[in-house]
């Protein structure tokens, strides 16, 4: 096994036994074979670890890390990054897939463009859909472009005209993503990818976004199982405030994005309060709370996870992941 592989792939897993075999096989099918997989089981109560061990026995590039108690994806990824040896760090969720040429393509793209962070488009798929759909709308999917902090934050606001770039799975230079510089915020149970990326971009780096849809995001019943409640929103508010305080020179575009992000989080807190009032049948109080917050009205009409995940209706069809794996 190469002591310094090209790519360290981080896979945080919690009860993901149903899909992790397909995820690992999609990694083993990569045209770039010089990788290591750091599989972190985050206190699963299914047989995920045994399933991953089945692959590790025959493939020495797979390393298993067990966390006996569930600490969340941020903690799991930090554990993996602490053991990573690759020149690049990539995230692969245990229920997702990658096209066979993805790692090779992204490495070449990063090196050709002098990028320390590069991400590709997502192909959203499910077992029921006839074809996967592109996450990026056509105006983002025409050519590669640079993404700075203001654009990245603006994409992560309610009713943004941009797709939420926090869902992307970037390839990051290991010398920029290491315990001595950046770690995932383990206080966050959701939004940890977005929060880490904002700190990285705030350091002056930019994200190179490529329109090729080579990462396959699996949409299934567990995709939105975590309702965004007070216990998960409050840490996001605190993280946004910390980021704002850390910025010394704030240009107008960035200031507007930060302010809008703050309003987004305030709306989500109000939404959670209304939902809790409705759950306890305090209907008058819920109506009173919602009347003064028109921004949350669309949220009340559909699940929060579906609202924050915004695949565009006009998104173009892309290759079905099952077909891609046989490229």
Q: Looking at residue 128, what is its pLDDT?
A: 77
Phi first, then psi: give them for residue 79, nearest 5 degrees. -60, -40
Fold observed for domain 7-223+315-324: Spore Coat Polysaccharide Biosynthesis Protein SpsA; Chain A (3.90.550)
Q: Tell me the whole-structure pTM to 2 decimals.
A: 0.87
| Domain limits, the chain | 7-223+315-324, 230-308
Q: Which residues of the chain have pLDDT under 50?
A: 224-226, 304-316, 326-327
* pLDDT given for residue 315 in this prediction: 42
Task: Please enumerate in sequence order all residues whose Cβ is within 8 A of that of 242, keeping only pairs 6 or more positions apart, or say none.
Answer: none
Closest Cα to residue 147, out of 103, 123, 179, 115?
Answer: 115
Distance CA(198)–CA(103), nearest Å, equals 23
């Amino acid at each position: 096994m190469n002591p310094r592989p090209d790519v360290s792939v981080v896979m945080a897993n919690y009860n993901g036994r149903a899909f992790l075999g397909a995820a690992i096989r999609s990694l083993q099918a990569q045209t770039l074979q010089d990788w290591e997989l750091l599989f972190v089981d985050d206190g699963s109560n299914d047989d995920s670890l045994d399933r991953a061990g089945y692959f590790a026995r025959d493939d020495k590039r797979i390393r298993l890390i067990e966390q006996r108690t569930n600490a969340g994806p941020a903690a799991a990824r930090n554990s993996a990054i602490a053991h990573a040896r690759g020149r690049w760090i990539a995230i692969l969720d245990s229920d997702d897939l990658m096209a066979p040429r993805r790692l090779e393509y992204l490495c070449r793209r990063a090196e050709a463009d002098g990028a320390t962070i590069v991400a590709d488009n997502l192909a959203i798929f499910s077992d029921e859909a006839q074809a996967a759909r592109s996450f990026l709308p056509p105006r983002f999917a025409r050519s590669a472009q640079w993404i700075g902090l203001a654009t990245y934050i603006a994409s992560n606001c309610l009713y943004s005209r941009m797709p939420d770039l926090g869902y992307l799975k970037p390839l990051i230079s290991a010398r920029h993503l290491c315990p001595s510089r950046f770690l995932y915020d383990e206080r966050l149970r959701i939004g940890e990818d977005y929060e880490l990326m904002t700190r990285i971009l705030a350091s002056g780096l930019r994200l190179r976004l490529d329109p090729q849809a080579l990462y396959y995001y699996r949409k299934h019943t567990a995709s939105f199982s975590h309702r965004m409640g007070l216990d998960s929103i409050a840490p996001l508010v605190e993280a946004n405030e910390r980021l704002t305080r850390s910025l010394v020179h704030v240009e107008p575009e960035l200031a507007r994005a930060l302010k809008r992000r703050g309003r987004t989080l305030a709306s989500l807190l109000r939404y959670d309060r209304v939902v809790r009032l409705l759950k306890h049948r305090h209907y008058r109080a819920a109506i009173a709370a919602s009347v003064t917050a028109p921004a949350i009205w669309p949220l009340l009409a559909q699940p929060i996870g579906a609202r924050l995940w915004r695949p565009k209706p006009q998104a173009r069809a892309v290759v079905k992941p099952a077909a891609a794996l046989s490229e």
